Structure 1
Amino acid sequence: MSGELVLITGGTGLIGIKTIHTALKAGYSVRAAVRSQAKADAVLATPTVGALNPGSKLSFVIVPDILADNAYDEAVNGVSYILHLASPVIKGEGFTPDQYETELIAPALKGTLSILAAAYKTTGIKRIVITSSEVAIIPWEEFIAKEVDIVFDDKYEIPVPEGPYSHPFEAYSASKVRALDATKRFVKEKKPEWDIINIMPSFVVGDNEIITDPKKISDGTVSAAFAQVLGGDSGWGAVPSTSVHVADVARLHVEALDPKIEGGQNFLAVSEGERGTRWEDAIEIVNRNFPEAVKKGALPNNGTAATKRTRVDASRTEEVFGFKFQSYEEQVKSVTKQYLELSGVAVA
């Protein structure tokens, strides 16, 4: 298995860059699908990838538009595995209602179907691992709009929601449900030679080497934890109590290529067990781990955050893969350390 060629889409995202490094470190050869040469250069410039000196073990294919017909046909040629991470991400400010379909739903759905169709037209592919989300199997109204006593696990299923959508996160959730449903139907109808594993992360928090400007470090789901450290708030309101370290998500994607892991499964990625994440704990975590930076004012650490209890059981993932997800404390520490390093502040 080691040395075989893996195609990774979405390689310049928060999860993607960590997955490229993890796959290379595990001994795979990686072909990263990126939108431009500038994106490829950004991957090569990251310290962890550079330290591996990958040479010919890391190559790139330019896919400027994942919504184009046959977008991935060239990219899949000759690969043994596909890690499909490319998909729209929701940010704190979200999108306007007229953008829900074009910016969230269509790219998630067509991008997934495009990679599946391209894989189906070639030979030699053994497995496709897709970045799904916990919101693909947890109803929107129970995930964020109200608290319930249900403990959600990876066997939970929900119907495909119909619009119109009242919130950008609701539209994002719908995009993940629709992509998962389309994947199931594709496999059922086409019966491909390869199988599929869906990795379903919660709010992903951790360092992102693609980012070199400290002002951009609190972007996407990272803001749920780190905006308060910078003296603000995420703009998301009360955030469901589910988070996971980006390094653990990358590890799941790569280790899911192992044939010992049976295909055709969904795996949730959520830390802290049933207690879940308490987002406001970041203030205390930073005070305890970076007291000098707080004292100097490099970290205001006086913002606000709120948590909405959401009970998700990802214990089966930990059992199957044989490791425990890193704590919320480790997630916060990794982002804080990167922020301070990018800001030129010494980290003890």
Structure 2
Amino acid sequence: MAGELVLITGGTGLIGIKTIHTALKAGYSVRAAVRSQSKADAVLATPTVKAINPGSRLSFVIVPDILADSAYDEAVKGVKYVIHVASPVIKGEGFTPDQYETHLIQPALKGTAGILESAYKTHGIKRIVITSSEVAIIPWEEFIAKEVDTVYDDTYQIPFPAGPYSHVFEAYSASKVRALVATKDFVAEKKPEWDIINIMPSFVVGDNEMITDPKLISDGTVSAAMAQVLGGDSGWGAVPSTSVHVADVARLHVDALNPKIDGNQSFLAVSEGERGTRWEEAIAIVNKNFPEAVKKGVLPNNGTAATKRTKVDASRTEKVFGFKFASYEEQVKSAVKQYLELVGEAAA
């Protein structure tokens, strides 16, 4: 409820910073877990935080190593809610096969287990919201390589895929499956006083106020849309046809704190219905909305993208939370507007 204290981990990432902004706008007090004071300073420097001017409603706790034993013990004390966003993501440079277990799977598993263990040691927490992923319930080969007619929804379940892993995305998917299974097992075994909601985003696209260097605008999943706008390609080949606006993902995390929404369930965050996202349509979107920037060459808008059909049904999420996911066009516009601002060009 508004005014109560929520701990947010991973607050300096794409989803995390938007979640901090959204929680503050909703009236919550936020304790952000960050790795260093410089990270806290970067959060405070974002235009949205400055505009909100939250004062004592925004505080920080330094957690330098989220994988250390009892890393969150102090961070969870006195909070009513936890939003656990922190987890490894696939960056552009990727990981080598010998790093899959150490850099993807174990950090995702131990980070999630750690926050649950710390929360279990204290009292007064009402709910924990965890950033999961659609790949926690979709077999990775069907997500990346195979086109099947299955329409995946949030009731779908898959077993933990054991290694060794042949692809970085297989390892990433395994990390999300394993964290989800571990979370459900923890609740079943420990029966904590709090419940859990898992938010399962697809490829997240949109603005990120933690980025101040325009060269980093297409970092992470945003590159699936933005790389082609900047004249290149994402380097991922055909990308599954699932995307979601970062603002919608943040809203789900914060709205999920509402006790009117039953706990111990999962919600997919995927826009555009069963048709899905067509990544290559970013070119037309940019030509339509930013013609002057294209004409001047600020936006080359001549790169390539390809879409791999993947059918996901997130309609239950829209029904329960009472809003419709923003379109791919809005996602692209959000990222492009930020890029133009960073390079000092008018968004027209």
TM-score computed with the length of structure 2 as normaliser: 0.99
CA separation in 1, counterparts of 2:96 and 2:204? Answer: 23
Corresponding residue number in structure 2 for 1:54 = 54
Corresponding residue number in structure 2 for 1:105 = 105
Letter in 1 for 2:117: A
Query: Secondary structure of 1:228's match?
Result: helix
Question: Does the Cα contact within 8 Å between 1:144 and 1:308 map onto a contact in 2?
Answer: yes
Query: Secondary structure of 2:178's match?
Result: helix
Provide Cα deviations, 1:212-256, integer angstroms capped at 9, x if missing partner: 000001100000000000000000010000000000000000000
Provide Cα deviations, 1:147-191, integer angstroms capped at 9, x if missing partner: 000000000000010011111111000000000000011001100
Question: Does the Cα contact within 8 Å between 1:137 and 1:156 map onto a contact in 2?
Answer: yes
Q: Does 1:209 align with 2:192?
A: no
CA separation in 1, counterparts of 2:223 and 2:103? Answer: 20
Ranges in structure 1 where 5+ consecutive residues have no aligned partner:
none
Q: Does 1:290 align with 2:290?
A: yes
Corresponding residue number in structure 2 for 1:227 = 227
Corresponding residue number in structure 1 for 2:16 = 16
**1:198 Cα shift?**
0.1
Corresponding residue number in structure 2 for 1:127 = 127
Ranges in structure 2 where 5+ consecutive residues have no aligned partner:
none
CA separation in 2, counterparts of 1:301 and 1:78? Answer: 49
**1:347 Cα shift?**
1.7
CA separation in 2, counterparts of 1:6 and 1:92? Answer: 31
Corresponding residue number in structure 2 for 1:2 = 2
Corresponding residue number in structure 2 for 1:340 = 340
Letter in 2 for 1:284: A
CA separation in 2, counterparts of 1:105 and 1:343? Answer: 37
Structure-to-structure mapping, 1:58-137, within 5 angstroms: 58-137=58-137
Query: Secondary structure of 1:76's match?
Result: coil
**1:98 Cα shift?**
0.9
Letter in 2 for 1:15: I
Structure-to-structure mapping, 1:30-41, within 5 angstroms: 30-41=30-41
Corresponding residue number in structure 2 for 1:260 = 260
Question: Does the Cα contact within 8 Å between 1:92 and 1:236 map onto a contact in 2?
Answer: no
Query: Secondary structure of 1:222's match?
Result: helix
CA separation in 2, counterparts of 1:344 and 1:109? Answer: 41
Query: Secondary structure of 1:79's match?
Result: coil
Query: Secondary structure of 2:326's match?
Result: coil
CA separation in 2, counterparts of 1:167 and 1:53? Answer: 44
Query: Secondary structure of 1:24's match?
Result: helix
Letter in 1 for 2:322: G
Q: Does 1:248 align with 2:248?
A: yes
**1:145 Cα shift?**
1.4
Corresponding residue number in structure 2 for 1:198 = 198
CA separation in 1, counterparts of 2:42 and 2:93? Answer: 25
CA separation in 2, counterparts of 1:167 and 1:338? Answer: 32
Letter in 1 for 2:318: E
**1:6 Cα shift?**
0.1
Moved more, 187-196 or 90-99: 90-99
Letter in 1 for 2:55: G
CA separation in 1, counterparts of 2:87 and 2:284? Answer: 33
**1:94 Cα shift?**
1.5
**RMSD of Structure 2 on Structure 1 (CA):** 0.5
TM-score computed with the length of structure 1 as normaliser: 0.99
4+ long deviations beyond 6 Å: none
Letter in 2 for 1:241: S
**1:91 Cα shift?**
2.0
CA separation in 1, counterparts of 2:31 and 2:93? Answer: 32
Corresponding residue number in structure 1 for 2:304 = 304
CA separation in 2, counterparts of 1:169 and 1:209? Answer: 27
CA separation in 2, counterparts of 1:329 and 1:92? Answer: 23
Query: Secondary structure of 2:228's match?
Result: coil
**1:92 Cα shift?**
3.2
Letter in 1 for 2:148: V
**1:346 Cα shift?**
1.5
CA separation in 1, counterparts of 2:309 and 2:231? Answer: 23
Question: Does the Cα contact within 8 Å between 1:234 and 1:305 map onto a contact in 2?
Answer: yes
Letter in 2 for 1:186: F
Corresponding residue number in structure 2 for 1:323 = 323
CA separation in 2, counterparts of 1:96 and 1:145? Answer: 20
CA separation in 1, counterparts of 2:13 and 2:93? Answer: 18
Provide Cα deviations, 1:66-93, integer angstroms capped at 9, x if missing partner: 1100000000000000000000111233
Query: Secondary structure of 2:129's match?
Result: strand
CA separation in 1, counterparts of 2:80 and 2:328? Answer: 34
Query: Secondary structure of 1:8's match?
Result: strand
Corresponding residue number in structure 2 for 1:27 = 27
% identical aligned pairs: 86
Letter in 2 for 1:311: K
